[in-house]
Amino acid sequence: MTDTTSLKAPVAVKKPHSFSHHGITVTDDYAWLRDPGYPQVTDKEVLDHLEAENAWFEARMAPHQPLVDMLFRELRARIKEADKSVPQKDGDYLYWIEFEEGAEYKKWWRRPVAAGDDGEADQLILDEVALAQGKEYFRLGAISVSQNGKLLAYSIDDNGSERFTVRVKDLETGQLLPDEIPGTLSALVWVAGDTGLVYSLANENWRTDNARLHWLGQDTASDIEIYHEDDEGFRVSSSLSANEKWLIISTSDHETSEVRLVPVAEPLADPILVRPREKGVEYDADEREGTLYIHANDTHENFRLATAPLDNPGKWTTLIEGSDEFYLTGVDLFRDFYVIEGRRGGLDQVELRYYDDPGRNEPIVFPEASYTAGLSDNPEWGVDKLRLSYQSMVSPATVYDYHVADKRLEVLKVQEIPSGYDASLYVTERLEIPARDGTIIPVSILMRKDREPAGPLHLYGYGAYGIAIEPGFSTSRLSLVDRGFAYAIAHIRGGDDLGRAWYKAGKLERRTNTFNDFVDVARALVDRGFTMPGRISISGGSAGGELMGAVVNSDPDLFGAVVAHVPFVDVLATMLDADLPLTPGEWPEWGNPIEDKAAFELIRSYSPYDNVKAQAYPPMLVTAGLNDPRVTYWEPAKWVARLRELKTDSNELLLKTNMGAGHGGKSGRFESLRETAEEFAFILWQFGVEA
């Protein structure tokens, strides 16, 4: 056990620094924590400070290591170690993934459909376990089998920087081809009869501003840029149409998009532009028999479905009108029908529609009143059944096949929890809580039926980028719930849980609605007897970490423990730095404080780092990733330094920086659980629970 008596909480030195915009000067005495050589971090003073914080984290957590170990064993025991996915047919093969006992990473398998259940025909096509051997970090990025089934393209990141290296494997010989493409950040799309591969490079600022074509066997120096994006705020992505006839090149920021189609057989042909970009208009498109199907928000913020002739792609005709009641989140084409997905009243909906009968729609009916569901892996064009995923806060993940002809759901697999799980012990509710402006905020809550009233409660939130936090199942949260916690998800504005208007009501000039909603939910849960002030633990990551920073500045007394993962807390400085990888693309979400004084003043008013003050703060655990390109490591490091300087309490404040990982923390299915165990142990420690 580490000797805690010889260590003290690290105190970062203050080095006077300031910057001015719009006639306003901002001081930042901890700006030196950004290594001037970033993305390389080699400055000894910076590294020494991060290591000192890590040593302090280890020292303070050391007495609670038995609790961490206990929680880790619990979390791991709920995972079926030897597990496999339900095989899915794609062409001449069935494909599936498999975890072996004790393995951190998975293996990718296939078997010829013609072989039936003959295990002798099983073929291991990619072994993540072998690829990750000896690496502190490993992440598989893209994986793509060629259309003829003979080649496999894949990309890996082995340091968390999210710059992936592409390799190509001959599935007939098992050998790697000499082709190697470093620095990618994209899907991998086979074109031109499997002789070419389309990908995107991350540029020096970690932006994918390109779509490139690599001919197999050729030097990457001769790769051809088939599309380049000049707007530094936009990102480029590539995909295949559902019928696999078209390469779809999309470019977008957080509020505007533009789509081009290129024949897969002729990737150097002139692209077909579906519609020129128009600020605020988002759309995506697919094609069937000469007709484009376009999912767009041009006439309604909750999106409509339009069609257009391929030879006149700008002539859009509405097929499904946009609606205040139904939020149309996506459209998937199949040969004989198409599927729309969306949410009605915040609840997932999946409906089949038919090309030859526009008035016919078939909603798929699921067994519970509150759940999350959607299309899963459906790679083939002509199908008579659909693969679906389903779960709720009390129902483990379930894989279904939906048989189209007889409208029947067939259960293929239910998530197995080896240590045992009895759904009848738990209850879930969906609450409606009024925010201070009268807006009704949905809250999903899970607890044991025998929980003591007004016990501890964990509240989770995100509220950004139009990302909904769905009421799904989690084996991990049971470690809190089984210790008397209620677990609540606040569906706050900034996500799109209730539609596009819900998202817009938490961004730009209305950003503070997100923070207010979260606080108002916490207070209402106290008022309704679910818990008490100071008995609420909270957590959030990235933009959800910004949420954590904002609410502890505004309402610190409400919370008994806070976990902020890779928190986006230095919002003002980051949005003022156009050279950072994400910043220009983020301005539509947060505002551009460089050009807009009002945006500068608003961001400055809520940016967690800029609003730390001399007051008591709740106990806090903060995490960071040294190689994180999304939320740079210095944001949480600076925040913790300023908190240590100004806070007036003696509560715990811990910073843990993963020195070999990025935005998602450690890789591997069990190593990541250890970080969850540390998070929960910290919360339980602060609540006086050590068992």
Q: What is the CA radius of gyration of the chain?
A: 26
Beta bridge pairs of residue 447: 427
Triad 205, 621, 474: Cα angle to 5° = 85
Residue 547 has phi, psi (to 5 degrees) of -55, -45
Q: Read off the tokens for 446.
A: 């899970």
What is the secondary structure of 620-649 as a DSSP string? Answer: EEEEEETT-SSS-THHHHHHHHHHHHH--S
Alpha-carbon distances of 332 from 1, 236, 245, 322, rounded to whole Å: 55, 21, 15, 17
Identify the active-site residue in 542, 555, 565, 667.
Answer: 542
Contact assessment for residue 562 and residue 539, using Cβ atoms and an 8 Å cutoff: yes
Alpha-carbon dihedral 391, 394, 396, 399, rounded to 10 degrees: -30
- Given the residues 49, 214, 458, 663, the one annotated as active site: 663
Asked whether 592 and 125 are in contact (CB, 8 A), the reply is: no
**Is the link from the previous residue into 16 a cis peptide, with omega within 30 of 0?**
no
Name 647's Cβ contacts closer than 8 Å, sequence gap at least 6. Answer: 612, 614, 615, 616, 617, 653
Nearest to 539 by CA among 495, 485, 488: 488
Burial of 310 from C-beta contacts in 10 A (0-12 / 13-18 / 19+): middle
Please give the full DSSP string across 341-381, using - where no structure is assigned: EEEETTEEEEEEEETTEEEEEEEPP-SSSS-EEEE-----S
Question: How far apart (Å, rounded) are the C-alpha atoms in residues 254 and 363?
Answer: 30
Residue 250 known to be catalytic? no
Name the residue among 616, 115, 95 with its Cα closest to residue 376.
95
CA atoms within 13 A on the CB side of 91: 10
Residue partners of 574: CB distance under 8 A and separation at least 6: 568, 580, 583, 586, 632, 635
Q: Does residue 542 carry a catalytic annotation?
A: yes
Distances (CA, A) of 326 to 300, 347, 495: 11, 10, 16
Catalytic residue among 284, 497, 628, 667: 628
Could you tell me how far CA 389 lies from the centroid of its own chain?
17
State the chain's maximal CA–CA distance in angstroms: 76
Is 29 in the active site?
Answer: no
Distance CA 286, CA 264 (A): 13
Q: CA nearest 246: which of 272, 264, 265, 260?
A: 264
CA distance 239 to 582: 22
Q: Which amino acid is present at 450?
A: D
Determine contact, residues 601/663, Cβ cutoff 8 Å: no
Where residue 649 falls (left for φ over 0; alpha for ψ -120 to 50; beta otherwise) is beta
166 forms beta bridges with 155, 181
* Residues identified as active-site: 542, 628, 663
